[in-house]
Amino acid sequence: MDVLDQSEVDALLSAVDTGEVEQEPQEVQIFSRTRTEWDSVEVRPYDFKRPERVSKDQMRALETLHEGFARNFGAALSGFLRTIVEVKVSTCDQMTYSEFIASLPNPTSFNLLTAEPLEGKICLEVSPLIVYPIIDRLLGGNSQELFIPQRALTAIEMRLIHKIISRAVEALKEAWRGLKDLDFALTESESNPHLVQIVPPNEVVIVVGLEIKMSTRAGTANLCIPYNVIEPVMEEIASQSWFRMGQLEGSGEYSKRIRTRLNKATVEISGVLAQTTITLHELVNLSVDDLLMTETPASQPMTVSVEGGRKFDAHIGQYKGSRALKVVGPVEQLDG
């Protein structure tokens, strides 16, 4: 075999580029013990560095599951921050852990979660673009002209963000409950994602990208779930699982769960002794010892209102040294 020197190699490459030498077409060879007809065979490239271990049906099911998580998380944040917060799923992909870490900013809010009884850890990353506006909101600011610092979170800021992560954890529990009861819990937080390695760099992970909007501010969050963590439940994560969830929503168990949550809700109750009208002149000239006349007899029951709505009739009295109302029945709704 003749070995070409560097000048001959350069001349050959130059001839190929100018078209003086035609390149021989590379014929794809397919080997099989059974198949002989290759006209209908579809050949696709496969990257062994990025194996697709999750099927398309399972990816769609995971995306649907975490869309429910996004809605619950947004509702929890809206109630906690006293402003409208919109959370929605933007992407749902599978990639290697090294690719996921390389796509994250540094510093950021990188939180590790456990999901017992599953083994291993998953991570929830929240971008500084939305972390600092949330912190500013919690401390009384309006975050209109907020500067986003390029530094790690302080201990106080970390404690405040843990309140947000705890609500995300509860939303994850609720979203996964229709498939499997998982006890999600926050274990630790880090600002530099490159210092945390929960799985080998080439391990496949499912990354659910979230978009968070609050007022004029917006940012992203990423939920990274290693495949080896949810592998025990992958057989259940399929399209058929969502039909079972639909049956659960119409079942007595789902109604019982809603009733339990509603029973814990707090409502405001007030007692109205009587009502009357006076002129603005009389109101301005009110002073101590003045009497207000009403058309309600003293013997008539007073009205108990729940969240501003008239609900019960009651008598006023005293119980163990405190003023009390004794409910005598539902209020009579007068027509017309």
- Do residues 149 and 260 touch, judged by C-beta distance below 8 A? no
- State how far the Cα of 208 lies from the Cα of 172, in Å rounded to an integer: 12
Q: What is the pLDDT along the chain (336 residues), one digit of tens a residue?
A: 566 677 777 777 777 666 665 555 556 666 666 656 666 666 666 555 555 677 788 888 888 889 999 999 999 998 888 888 999 999 898 888 999 998 888 889 999 999 899 888 999 999 988 999 888 888 887 767 778 888 888 889 899 999 999 999 999 998 888 788 889 999 988 888 888 888 888 888 999 999 999 888 889 999 999 988 888 887 777 644 444 554 555 556 667 778 887 887 788 888 877 778 888 888 888 888 888 887 777 777 888 888 878 888 888 888 888 888 888 888 875 443
Which of 270, 261, 260, 259 is closest to 305 using CA atoms?
270
In single-letter form, the type of residue at position 32 comes to S
Omega prior to 105 cis, within 30 of 0? no
99 and 163 assigned to the same domain: yes
Q: Report yes or no on 240 lying in a domain.
A: yes
Q: Report yes or no on 86 lying in a domain.
A: yes
Both tokens assigned to 120: 């291993």
Q: Report yes or no on 78 lying in a domain.
A: yes
- Do residues 126 and 146 touch, judged by C-beta distance below 8 A? no
Which of 224, 73, 212, 187 is closest to 132 using CA atoms?
212
- State how far the Cα of 286 lies from the Cα of 20, in Å rounded to an integer: 108
86 and 61 assigned to the same domain: yes
62 and 209 assigned to the same domain: yes
Instruction: Tell me which residue range forms the domain holding 274.
Output: 269-286+296-330
- State how far the Cα of 197 lies from the Cα of 171, in Å rounded to an integer: 25
187 and 203 assigned to the same domain: yes
107 and 220 assigned to the same domain: yes
* Number of compact structural domains in the chain: 2
- State how far the Cα of 144 lies from the Cα of 129, in Å rounded to an integer: 13
Q: Report yes or no on 42 lying in a domain.
A: no
Q: Cα 158 vs. chain centroid, distance in angstroms? A: 19
325 and 188 assigned to the same domain: no
129 and 235 assigned to the same domain: yes
146 and 250 assigned to the same domain: yes
CATH number, domain of 279, equals 2.30.330
Q: Report yes or no on 115 lying in a domain.
A: yes
Four-CA torsion 72, 73, 75, 79, nearest 10 degrees: 140
Residues near 300 by Cβ (< 8 Å), separated by ≥ 6?
none
Omega prior to 117 cis, within 30 of 0? yes
155 and 179 assigned to the same domain: yes
Query: pTM for the full model?
Result: 0.58
- State how far the Cα of 120 lies from the Cα of 228, in Å rounded to an integer: 8
CATH number, domain of 222, equals 3.40.1550.10
- State how far the Cα of 315 lies from the Cα of 177, in Å rounded to an integer: 46
273 and 219 assigned to the same domain: no
307 and 234 assigned to the same domain: no
* Interhelix angle 128-138/56-81, nearest 10 degrees: 30
Q: Report yes or no on 235 lying in a domain.
A: yes
227 and 315 assigned to the same domain: no
